[in-house]
Amino acid sequence: MTVWRVELDLFRGPLDLLLYLVRRDELDIREMPIARITRQFEQYLTVLQFLDLELVGEFLVMASTLAEIKSRLVLPSPEEETEDEVEVADDDPRSDLIRQLLEYRRYKDAASALEEHAAEWQERYPRLTNERPRVGNQPQDDLIKEVELWDLVSALARVLEKKVIDEKARIRYDDTPISVWVERVGATVREQERVAFSTLFEDANERSKIIGIFLAILELLRHHHFRADQEEDFGEIWIMPPLEGVDFDAGPIPDEQDSETDEAEADQA
């Protein structure tokens, strides 16, 4: 039986998903509608469980926390806060979660400001080497900017809603490496120049194939300069090849490249 273990640094955790949901719907964190957020969070959790992410346990804990807060809010509560109050009341079941989310937002905004400053600095001062910089090794280097990671997860959720997954295929061993999926998906996008995210999954009804294509898309966006665009909220996401002048290496993913280089150097030694 195929065992998929997906470990990606850019799935930063449940607070990152919560902040995305709040910002996407332009909500006030201090007045976060728990019932609505819980329902949306559970939809994303279903997709993460489908991907079988190692860190899905953290999301399960958050889902339980949201469900508990939701049930506590149904109970009779003391006097409601006035609209002029800024701080969250201590007796509000949401208070601890909202404080965590506000702190995480400050941290993420500060990190984004540093990234923008670093990008401006790189444009102002040329590098002292002709070697093209390597990208995507760290979460802060990810190239998924215009379309956020959670937009892609949401798009995958819409794809799965229309799919009838062949459960029998789960017992068949599939050892197709991600590098093969990267090459296939990359070639398709380059040939058509602009491909709808959902179109890439049209002929995929096996769990392993769906996961392979999804991870390939992330790999192309993170490490190979492919681009993603979403013209409207909840609309179709379009995958596009790199801009002219940017090389695309459809070979093995970075870790495999490193191992091959190390082996070659060992043989020469």
Q: Do 43 and 122 reside in the same domain of the chain?
A: yes
Given pLDDT bands bounded at 50, 70 and 90, which one contains residue 184? very high
Q: Does residue 81 lie in a domain region?
A: no
The lowest-confidence range among 20-34, 103-117, 184-198, 216-230 is 103-117
pLDDT greater than 90 at residue 192: yes
Spatial separation of the C-alpha atoms in residues 108 and 113, rounded to whole Å: 9
Q: Do 54 and 146 reside in the same domain of the chain?
A: no
Residue 130 structure tokens: 């002709």
Domain boundary among 66, 97, 126: 126
> pLDDT tens, 118-149?
666 666 655 544 444 444 444 444 555 557 88
Residue 177 structure tokens: 């490496």
Q: Do 61 and 28 reside in the same domain of the chain?
A: yes
Q: Tell me what pLDDT residue 111 has.
A: 79
The whole domain housing 55 covers: 1-75+89-126
pLDDT greater than 90 at residue 185: yes
Nearest to 237 by CA among 219, 221, 254: 221
Q: Hey, which of 160-169, 222-231, 246-255 has the most confident mean pLDDT?
A: 222-231
Q: Do 260 and 150 reside in the same domain of the chain?
A: yes
Q: Do 157 and 102 reside in the same domain of the chain?
A: no
Spatial separation of the C-alpha atoms in residues 216 and 201, rounded to whole Å: 12
The lowest-confidence range among 64-68, 70-74, 132-136, 224-228 is 132-136
Contacts 24+ apart (CB under 8 A), 60-68: 61/14, 62/14, 62/15, 62/17, 62/18, 63/38, 65/97, 66/34, 66/37, 66/38, 66/41, 66/97, 67/38, 68/93
Q: Do 116 and 68 reside in the same domain of the chain?
A: yes
Q: How many domains does the chain have?
A: 2
Give the start-end residues of each E strand in the chain: 195-196, 227-230, 237-240
Q: Does residue 131 lie in a domain region?
A: no
Q: Do 110 and 25 reside in the same domain of the chain?
A: yes
Q: Hey, which of 165-174, 177-186, 204-213 has the most confident mean pLDDT?
A: 177-186
Helical axes 34-51 vs 149-161, angle rounded to 10°? 80
Q: Do 95 and 170 reside in the same domain of the chain?
A: no
- Mean pLDDT over 182-208 rounds to 93
Q: Does residue 247 lie in a domain region?
A: yes
> pLDDT tens, 74-105?
776 555 444 444 455 556 778 889 999 999 89
Q: Exposed, middle or buried, 47 (CB in 10 Å: 0-12/13-18/19+)?
A: buried
Q: Do 267 and 222 reside in the same domain of the chain?
A: yes
pLDDT greater than 60 at residue 194: yes
The neighbouring-strand residues paired with 195 are: 239
Q: Do 263 and 206 reside in the same domain of the chain?
A: yes
Q: Do 144 and 69 reside in the same domain of the chain?
A: no
Q: Which residue has the higher pLDDT, 208 or 189?
A: 189
pLDDT greater than 80 at residue 71: yes
